[in-house]
Amino acid sequence: MTDAAGDNPSIEIRDFSFQLGKKQILRNVSFAVRQGEFLSIVGPNGAGKTTLIKCLDRILTGGTGEIDVFGRPLASYRQKELARRLSYVPQADGRVFPFTVEQFVLMGRYPYLNPFSSIGKDDREALSEAMDLTGTREFADRRLDTLSGGERQKVYIAAALAQGADVLLLDEPTTFLDYRHQAEIRELLARARRQSGVTIVAVTHDVNLAALESDRIVALREGSVVFTGTPEEVMKSDVLERIYGTPLLLMDHPRTGLPIIVPNASQEREP
């Protein structure tokens, strides 16, 4: 990735608001995603993070304001065209049909297929690259419904990478995973960025992880952007209290020196 960051944002949102029924989910959201950066969107439950990421990928349509993707209005894209620019990894959801891992990852190639075309050389290459990068080749022939949560998440990321998009949108990629799988997924995302220069936008409620791996952080609260800045800037007790609406305990990370949030002991409990 070149220095162009900032000059040519991959995604730019200006004054975007979104309603579901009568409920206002997003209010006047504005920020830009620079090319090649790792941007985390944090905030408490119900802040509108998932809605925002779905609006960016036009999984949800509607809303007011402007969203530009690589300099063009989102509305001007056909869905397949958009899929070549942005790919998406949803929150874990247990419902899967018995596809094999390879079949599933190959579905990432949909934006390049015609109704009757079969899998071509480019598709095979993209498949093989994505599976190598994510370490999913070893279970290529296993069925999706037999995988553990961590394995499944890797497969979902592999499929998103096979899609060959410039930006990877992730919804809570590590939330439901144990420590080992969390570390593996984070490692894998860092590797993907290094190798293909993909821009990453990840939604998470875990500001600790966000601060450790992102270049920049956007915080939402009740549908509004309440903070945009670097990890150093977010890890301050007054900023965090503004985002989460509750006082949080901070201490320095032993390796990065950056403050991290530690869970507070319950007031009820005697020390």
Partner 1 sequence: MSRGSILAVSAVAAVGVLALAPFWGMEHVPLAALWGGTDDYTKIDILWKIRLPRVAMAFLAGAALATSGMAFQAMFRNPLATPFTLGVSSGASLGAAVSIHLGLAFSLFGFSSVAWFAFAGALGTVVLVYGLTRARRGFSTATMLLAGVAVSFFFSSLILFLQYLSDFTRTFRMLRWVMGGMDNVVGFDDVLGVLPFVVAGILILVYLTHELNLITTGEDLAAARGVDVDRTKMLLFFAASLMVGAVVAVCGPIGFVGLMAPHICRLLIGADHRYLTPATLLFGGAFLVLCDTLARTVLAPTELPVGIITALLGGPFFLWLLLGRSSEVELA
Give contact residues for partner 1 (rule: CB under 8 A). Answer: 54, 57-59, 79-84, 86-88, 90, 93-100, 103-104, 107-108, 110-111, 113, 115-116, 143, 145, 163, 169
Helix (H) or strand (E) holding 159: helix 149-162
CA–CA gap between residue 240 and residue 227 (Å, rounded) = 9
CB of 83 to partner 1, least distance (A): 3
Q: Is the CB of 104 or the CB of 244 nearer to partner 1?
A: 104
CB of 60 to partner 1, least distance (A): 9
Q: Is the CB of 96 or the CB of 226 nearer to partner 1?
A: 96
Unique residue bearing structure tokens 């070893």: 138
CB of 214 to partner 1, least distance (A): 22
Amino acid at 243: I
Nearest Cα to 159, choosing from 140, 178, 138, 182?
Answer: 140
CB of 112 to partner 1, least distance (A): 9
Q: Is the CB of 144 or the CB of 189 nearer to partner 1?
A: 144
Over the range 104-120, which residues count as b (16 or more CB within 10 Å of their CB) and which as e?
bbbebbebbeeeeeeee
Q: Is the CB of 3 or the CB of 93 nearer to partner 1?
A: 93
Over the range 10-34, which residues count as b (16 or more CB within 10 Å of their CB) and which as e?
bbbbeebebeeeeeebbbebebbbb
Q: Is the CB of 62 or the CB of 254 nearer to partner 1?
A: 62
Q: Is the CB of 97 or the CB of 179 nearer to partner 1?
A: 97
Round the CA-based radius of gyration of the chain to a whole number and report it.
Answer: 19
Q: 86-89 and 72-73 as β-strands: parallel, antiparallel, unpaired? A: unpaired
CB of 144 to partner 1, least distance (A): 9
CB of 263 to partner 1, least distance (A): 32
